[in-house]
Amino acid sequence: MHAVRSIRIDAPAAQVFGYLTEVGRHPEWAGNPLTICLTSSEPLRVGSTWESTGRRLGTHLDRVTVVELDPERRFAYEAEGDAGHWRSTFTLRADGDATVLHREMRSLRLTWFTRALAPMILLTNGFELAGNLRKIKSCVEKRP
């Protein structure tokens, strides 16, 4: 499964990237109730890890690893748990004084549970990504 969405944020790429890489703030923009527990030391780098506990159709624990970190350009992580193995990639592009944020979510391996729910997930993933991006935009733009 694969979904992609983009949004223009009225803030420089450094500010957007800084917000995205504060992983403890992911619950502010996640599409479902979420808790984050860092499992590696800061600063964030490729190989950094955290655990994410989300609640949607039950409680699900994911072990998350940063796989790409190119300041102000690209941030990607992979999450593996009982719903499968997923990769989320954020790509940033300067647009004058603003930033175009592009988010891609791709399944790398699905469990029987997510395969069974695939039609519903395909219908909702794009809407959820768009909602996530609107929340990120709002959070970044209201920061000083």
pLDDT digits (tens, 9 = 90+) for 44-68: 999 999 999 987 667 889 999 999 9
What is the per-residue pLDDT for 123? Answer: 61
Q: What residues contact 43, with CB distance under 8 A and at least 6 apart? A: none
pLDDT in tens, 82-94: 878 989 999 999 9
Tokens of residue 13, six digits: 């790429």
3-20: b (≥16 Cβ within 10 Å) or e: bebebebebbbebbbbbb
Q: What residues contact 10, with CB distance under 8 A and at least 6 apart? A: 97, 98, 141
First-to-last alpha carbon distance for the chain, in angstroms, is 37
